Amino acid sequence: MSRHHLYHIVMLAYFITAISALIPKPYEYNQTSTLLCNIVETLEFIHEHHSCFILMEALKRFTQRLTLIYTPLQQSDDIVTSCFVTSLSIHIEQLCDETENKLWPSDMMDESYMVNITDGVIEISSQEIWGTLHALETILQLVYRSELDSKVIYQGVVNDVPIFTHRGIMIDTARHFLSISEIVKMI
């Protein structure tokens, strides 16, 4: 890979981390407070799905990515020192047990989820593991770095239900020419 390509990849990664929008945009996001809560260095994960290897791997990735977040706050809100998030509670309605069979995504999977961020705990509720995976990604996008180099998050509620069966789009520009205006319409 040439230095030119590497430069563009690094710049793209920098600008993506500076974006403050949630991607994909959830159905509903209500920030319930303008005060920020500190996230402790070692979050406690509370769940009953110890045989769900998808969840266990997702929590490992979540922890690794949480330590790498460097999205700065856009404004200087007050950081509440009495508000600490110490745990992440996960509730999945349908069992996620992979001791006998691996779970695979399907056309009928339920990716809906609800995230409630309050003083002390971040709660995730979903019907299936697939919603929990999207919820973890959303939480990572809501975390910022304060001027004191601590991880902070606003209190709030996120509800997401996918509008369409699939969450992505595929643009085949190798075989079909699409103008920039057409691509923007799709997005």
Q: What distance in Å separates the CA atoms of residue 98 and residue 102, rounded to the nearest whole number?
A: 5
> Can you tell me the mean pLDDT for 164-168?
69
Q: What band does 4 get if pLDDT is binned at 50, 70 and 90?
A: low
Residues 137-149 have pLDDT tens digits of 999 999 998 888 8
Q: What distance in Å separates the CA atoms of residue 74 and residue 20, rounded to the nearest whole number?
A: 9
Locate 124 and state its tokens: 């995730």
Locate 152 and state its tokens: 């902070």
Q: Which residue has the tokens 């045989």?
A: 51
- Cβ atoms 115, 158 nearer than 8 A: yes
Q: What distance in Å separates the CA atoms of residue 47 and residue 35, rounded to the nearest whole number?
A: 27
Q: What distance in Å separates the CA atoms of residue 69 and residue 136, rounded to the nearest whole number?
A: 14
Q: What distance in Å separates the CA atoms of residue 63 and residue 43, rounded to the nearest whole number?
A: 8
Q: Which residue has the higher pLDDT, 76 or 18?
A: 76
Q: What percent of the chain has pLDDT over 90?
A: 48
Minimum mean pLDDT range among 53-62, 76-85, 135-144, 172-181: 76-85
Alpha helices by DSSP H, listed for 19-162, are: 53-67, 129-142
Q: What is the pLDDT of residue 5?
A: 67
Domain harbouring 106, CATH code: 3.30.379.10
Q: What band does 23 get if pLDDT is binned at 50, 70 and 90?
A: confident
Count of structural domains within the chain: 1
Domain of residue 84, residue span: 3-186
Q: Which residue has the higher pLDDT, 128 or 182?
A: 128
Residues 39-64 have pLDDT tens digits of 999 999 999 998 999 999 999 999 99
Q: Is the pLDDT of residue 128 over 60?
A: yes
pTM: 0.78
Q: What integer best gives the mean pLDDT of the chain?
A: 84
